[in-house]
Structure 1
Amino acid sequence: MNAVVLHEYGGPDKLKYESYPDPVAGKGEVLVRVAASSVNPIDYKMRSGEAKARFPLVLPAIIGRDISGIVREVGEGVTGFAPGDRVMALTVKAYAELVVVKATDLAHVPEHLDLIEAAALPLVALTGEQLITRGTKIQSGQTVLVTGAVGGVGRSAVWTAKKAGAIVIAGVRKSQVKDAATLGADTVLPLDDATAMEKLGFVDAVADTVGGETAAKLLGKVKQGGVFASVLGPPSYANMHPTVRIEPVQAVPDSKTLHTMAKDVLAGKLKIPIDRMVSLSEAGKAHAAAEKGGIGKILLLA
């Protein structure tokens, strides 16, 4: 097969499209012919070496977390999947034409949902959902502020919190307020507006996807006994707020939830914007573009 291989940490140019041995499905595993993967911030942090303390790589390595595709073979003991099935997953080694996935991590792509576009969902949908359900554990009637609300993770968190019956504040930059108005949140808050931040009252929880100074400021807006959940680790000055529970969240595969979120996307209840689709062979260019920022995801077509 062909794959995007990283031989050394560094810039986007370190991603090399080349021939690589085909993976083989073992017991409890499924071999998937990849239709598409997608670029996530963790991908370029792993590529550059920024994330090697948390996610060390054995080089040469294949990175990538999202896949959608067609089942080619099933391993011993696998039930519920057969060759030809349309599937998606949060997995590893995704920048390749073939990927082996644990059957328990694999989800069927809902009928009528575009197979290519399904590749945009696994990491962001599951991270956003788990940021709420495993991180904030927000309850109906409570108030949660979601930072980075127009991003894929933020959108998924806003939708999950609304499904739970929470009062949701979508935290965004001033330039994103118009985009955020379509998210279904109860209120939109420009986090880079000092006056608006000063007027913000106490909240039951913060679901953070941006970190930095914004996270540190919002920590002081959480009620005593409240929760600050983040995908970026504890904010600075966390020890200055001993009455706030800090909950770091790192997404784990959950095929049932992924399938449910995909059905929400199909029904138009949740939207994960897609910026562009490029060939897997252009992963380096895709990384360079993604690192410049933007709202939409970049898909890699295998």
Structure 2
Amino acid sequence: MPLAYGFIDYGGPDVQRFLDVPAPEPRQGEVLVEVRAAGVNPVDWKVRAGMHRAFLPLSLPAILGREVAGTVVGTGPGVTGLAAGDAVFGSTVGGSGGYAELAVLPADRAARMPDGLSFTDAAALPIAAGTAYEGLATLAPAAGRTLLILGAGGGVGAVAAQLAAMDGVRVVGTASGAKRAFVESLGATAVAYDHDGVGDRLRELLPGGADTVLDLVGGDALHGVAGVLTAGTRVLTVAAEETAARFGARPLSRTGDPGTLSALAELVAAGKLDPCVRRVFPLAAAAEALALVEDGHVTGKVVLDVTTS
């Protein structure tokens, strides 16, 4: 049986373990992939904790992980355009996790990997980078205007900062003081949220207010930057619906469009975009990798290399 890591019940890290599960089989419109690398994301531990069970029901035990890169080894009925041997990446189907040697992807949402893109970098793109790309498409910050990113040091924020700066947008990003150098390497001006005077510093940098805001922190983060939000500021947020409504914000979401993934892959392959993979663990150390992400202070992206033990 293929090696897989997941959880046997909803709860904390104590319910995680390697699972003895049969190899998945691709159904209509799906492809079976031999996983070479899998992305590790905050959504993974939230799924394990049961936070998403209302809209993502799972049969337990379940495999962790939602984004992979690998090689097609089988196709389900109705699949055209992809065949065994093709290198692809994308988000797994519901119920098929990515922390495994084999995973299932929807064929119509699996993107081909261009030459020059590594499996490790490809596995970092579907969720975090895809969310960043589509979030910026919605906000549409114009060249010369300002974008404030709350939580610029994480996987989504790091890609969003680079993409916006690439388009001539002036980017200001909040992050912990320890991530200042990292955030500024992305082309953004860093503001430490764990230091006093954050509001004053933001008003100093953005005296006319922020044109656009990408809130990747949620909670009360928007309250803390209210001083640079104007009637014309466009805001996307991961905050709760009530908070979003209070600030006239729209929810941040991701479609999984393979066109988005292909565009990102080409940028990375061309050396124009850094997916910011900063830690790579073998599948055998999946618990350690997820713990690092769950702690909430990781810089950039964490990826599992499924080909190493």
1:13-24 aligned at under 5 Å gives the runs 13-24=14-25
Instruction: Determine the structure 1 residue equivalent to 2:237.
Output: 230
Within the candidate set 221, 226, 249, 2:228 is matched to 221
Counterpart contact for 1:14–1:284, Cα < 8 Å:
no
Q: Aligned pair in 2 of structure 1 residues 222, 70: CA closer, same or farther (>3 Å)?
A: same
> Where do 5+ consecutive residues of structure 2 fail to align?
none
Does structure 1 residue 138 correspond to structure 2 residue 141? yes
Of 189, 197, 211, the match for 2:202: 197
What SS does the aligned partner of 1:144 have?
Answer: strand
The TM-score, its normalising length taken from structure 2, stands at 0.86
Aligned pairs, number: 296
Q: Which amino acid aligns with 2:106?
A: K
Q: Secondary structure at the match of 2:10?
A: coil
Rounded to whole Å, the distance in 2 between the matches of 1:64 and 1:73 is: 20
Tell me, yes or no, if structure 1 residue 105 matches structure 2 residue 109: yes
C-alpha contact 2:150 2:215 (8 A) present in aligned 1: yes
CA deviations over 1:71-116 (Å, ceiling 9, x no partner): 1012333222221111110224222221121111101112122123
The residue aligned with 1:89 is 90
Q: What CA distance in whole angstroms lies between the structure 2 residues aligned with 1:239 and 1:74?
A: 44
Cα-to-partner distance string for 1:206-260 (whole Å, 9 max, x where unaligned): 1011123332222442221322101344474x5554xxx3111122212121121
Task: Report the aligned-residue RMSD.
Answer: 2.3
- 2:48 corresponds in structure 1 to 47
Name the counterpart of 2:303. 299
Percent of residue pairs bearing the same amino acid type: 36
Q: Is the 8 A contact 2:158 2:276 kept in 1?
A: no
Give distance in 2, aligned partners of 1:248 and 1:83.
38
Q: Is the 8 A contact 1:39 1:64 kept in 2?
A: yes
* Alpha carbons 2:142, 2:169 under 8 Å: kept: yes
Contact 2:32 2:105 in 1 (8 A): yes
- In 2, Cα distance between equivalents of 1:180 and 1:63: 29
Unmatched tracts of structure 1, length 5 or more: none
- Give the one of 181, 187, 190 matched to 1:188: 190
| Matching residue of 1:36 | 37
- What amino acid does structure 1 have at the position aligned with 2:273? L
Structure 2 contact 154–301 (Cα < 8 Å) conserved? no
Moved more, 256-265 or 187-196: 187-196
Shift of 1:144: 1.5
> Following the alignment from structure 2 to structure 1, what is the Cα–Cα distance between the partners of residues 162 and 242?
24
